[in-house]
Structure 1
Amino acid sequence: MVNALGRHILAEVHGCDFDLLNDVEKVEEIMVNAALEAGAEIREVVFHKFSPQGVSGVVVISESHLAIHTWPELGYAAVDVFTCGERVNPWDACNYLAKGFRAKSVDARETRRGTMYSTPQKEAVNL
């Protein structure tokens, strides 16, 4: 049986409006509201506006984080939502983000992080 410490969603968000993805205040607002929509507890918020365009930012939550980098000229945002524990569902945040950015399409995948095995497993990587 496999248990995981966290759930990590990587989302490719396409077809968004240039002005929306290039507005650092709007991107921050949508990311913060996505965390709240999922029931997360916000700890810190940091966002940066690039020149000539683009925004990067992170919302640190007690349960882990939400992060984004935008390419407004392509109508694209790379988003990740990582939550630990069972209380916060990362898909709630991801769905809120897709609506908030008015995405035409989203390709999202979930990866279980920190998987723990009930029986010892052969070591896969030697460091």
Structure 2
Amino acid sequence: MLADLSGIAPDQLTSCARIEALLRMSAQAAGAHILHSHFHGFGPGLGVTGVVLLAESHISIHTWPEQQFAAVDIFMCGAAAPQRALDVLRTALAPAHCRVRTVQRCAVDEAITE
């Protein structure tokens, strides 16, 4: 799932600790298994970038508080439920708008050639 969340209060998008806790909570809600996480803040009042590495793949985020925007990738396989992860993020960040695109991946032998 690729989610573009806009219209978020800027103060919700600047804390590495808060964003990391939120992504970890969303991974747990999805039933995913957290392996590691790494987050970087770009300075006071600036955005955050980070990733939670999962046994099922990852959740990543990039925030732009000056644009009230966050880009989130939720990539999961197996029994994990990515929609639950997105629901947690939407509830916590309360975006005015959320555009979600779902990309289905498949093994090479299952791929459709055009």
TM-score, scaled relative to structure 1: 0.82
Shift of 1:94: 1.0
Match of 1:80 among 73, 78, 88: 73
Name which of structure 1's ranges 50-59 and 76-85 shifts more when overlaid on structure 2: 50-59
Comparing both structures, which one devotes a greater share of its residues to helix?
2
- What count of residue pairs does the alignment treat as equivalent? 112
Gap regions ≥5 residues in structure 2? none
**1:62 paired residue number:** 55
Shift of 1:51: 2.9
Shift of 1:121: 5.3
Higher Cα Rg, which structure: 1
Determine if the alignment matches structure 1 residue 97 to structure 2 residue 89. Answer: yes
**1:5 paired residue number:** none
The verdict on how the C-alpha distance between 1:107 and 1:44 changes in structure 2, with shifts beyond 3 A counting, is: same
TM-score, scaled relative to structure 2: 0.91
Give the % identical residues: 37
AA at the equivalent of 1:82: F
Aligned partners of 2:92, 2:55: CA distance in 1, in Å?
22
Deviation >4 Å, runs of 4+: none
RMSD: 1.6
Determine if the alignment matches structure 1 residue 34 to structure 2 residue 26. Answer: yes
Gap regions ≥5 residues in structure 1? 1-8
Name which of structure 1's ranges 33-42 and 95-104 shifts more when overlaid on structure 2: 95-104
Match of 1:50 among 42, 46, 56: 42
